[in-house]
Amino acid sequence: TVDIVDNGRVRATLPSGESIEILLHGATVISWKSNGVENLWLSEKAILDGSKPVRGGIPVVFPVFGPPPANHATSALPQHGFARSSRWEFLGSSKSESDTPKSAGDDTVKLDFGLYSNGLDEKSKSAWPYEFGLVYSVTLSKDSLRTMITIQNTGDKAFEFTTLLHSYFKIKDVHTARIAGLSASPYVDKVLKTDATQSEPFVSIPGTTDRVYYPPGGASTILAICDASGASSNPAGTPRFEISRDNMPDVVVWNPWKEGAEAMGDFAPKGDDPKGYRGMLCVEAGSVKEWVKLEGGESWEGGQVVKSLL
């Protein structure tokens, strides 16, 4: 079933019980449940009324990742651009249903959202005066969530963008979390302000972490978020999520830790509460190292498929 709630969010549920909830504000996926378990972290103080980007879920970053550089067409935009703080349109849903009740596990539902330059608020329009159309498709299947974005230049002036899916995963404990798939990858450490290379086979998160990885295999490497607290035949621990990427070669790993969470008004709970910084990890697929340039009429597509392994 697909329901539009309060004119501001869309909920979809599969016959087998999996569900997603998406706010039109930012087309932000704020909940994804499979096997009765929530997969995404959402701050208990996240602001969902459209006055701020959502602290949690999967905010969409476009047309600039991070603070915009000086002397660039995006310079007047806020951090991470306007897509996550604009109201998107719900374009509709499509289902694929299996024909026998036995194969109900193959059912999927796809929800499409659109954001167009002519629907932007005046502030964003004047800060970034280009003509574009974004279509964001969110597909729920039994064990996975697919989020794909298509960006089209609908005008005749070329523009450049970076984009990213700022996914907040709900995890058991960041202290025992490991990310597989980034070994030997160069990265920029935004905390230490240095360039480095991933020397350990897995990424672990010992404190405030803000890194942008540029894996040599680009989007072809599958990432896994694992938990190393129990016995596992996998050297990184028990895989909890698997992330496949399409046209999004770069990966941001972010956790603000206790101190960073303390400084964010919309981050809760605070302190060492297992539902606070310890219970979340952002692993963000994106295309952020190089600007993507789109001439008038051209389009670009990228995204991710996340599998929940329970």
Task: Report, as residue numbers or ranges, the catalytic residues.
Answer: 166, 284
Nearest to 223 by CA among 310, 139, 306, 138: 306
Residue 154 is encoded by which pair of tokens?
């609908």
Q: Is 84 marked as a binding-site residue?
A: yes
Nearer to ligand BG6, 166 or 245 (CB): 166
What is the DSSP pairing of strand 280-294 with strand 168-170? antiparallel
Question: What's the closest the beta carbon of residue 254 comes to ligand BG6, in angstroms?
Answer: 4
Question: Please, what is the Cα angle at 65 between 62 and 70, to 5 degrees?
Answer: 110
Nearer to ligand BG6, 67 or 235 (CB): 67
For the chain, how many helices (H) and strands (E)?
A: 2, 22
Residue 148 and residue 137: Cα distance in Å, rounded?
Answer: 5
Residue 193 is encoded by which pair of tokens?
């302000």
Binding site for ligand BG6 (CB under 6 A): 53, 66, 79-80, 166, 190, 210, 252, 254, 284
- Alpha helices per DSSP H over the chain: 122-127, 257-262
Question: What's the closest the beta carbon of residue 79 comes to ligand BG6, in angstroms?
Answer: 5
Nearer to ligand BG6, 125 or 190 (CB): 190
Q: Is 304 marked as a binding-site residue?
A: no
How far from the centroid of its chain's Cα atoms is residue 73's Cα? Answer: 24
Instruction: Classify residue 259 by its DSSP letter.
Output: H
Single-letter amino acid code for the residue at 129? P
Nearer to ligand BG6, 110 or 278 (CB): 278
Q: Is 152 marked as a binding-site residue?
A: no
Nearest to 10 by CA among 148, 145, 121, 110: 110
Residue 283, classed as helix, strand or coil, is strand
Nearer to ligand BG6, 79 or 197 (CB): 79
In angstroms, what CA-CA distances link 194 with 155, 162, 186? 39, 21, 11
Question: What's the closest the beta carbon of residue 35 comes to ligand BG6, in angstroms?
Answer: 28
* Residues of the binding site for substrate: 55, 79, 84
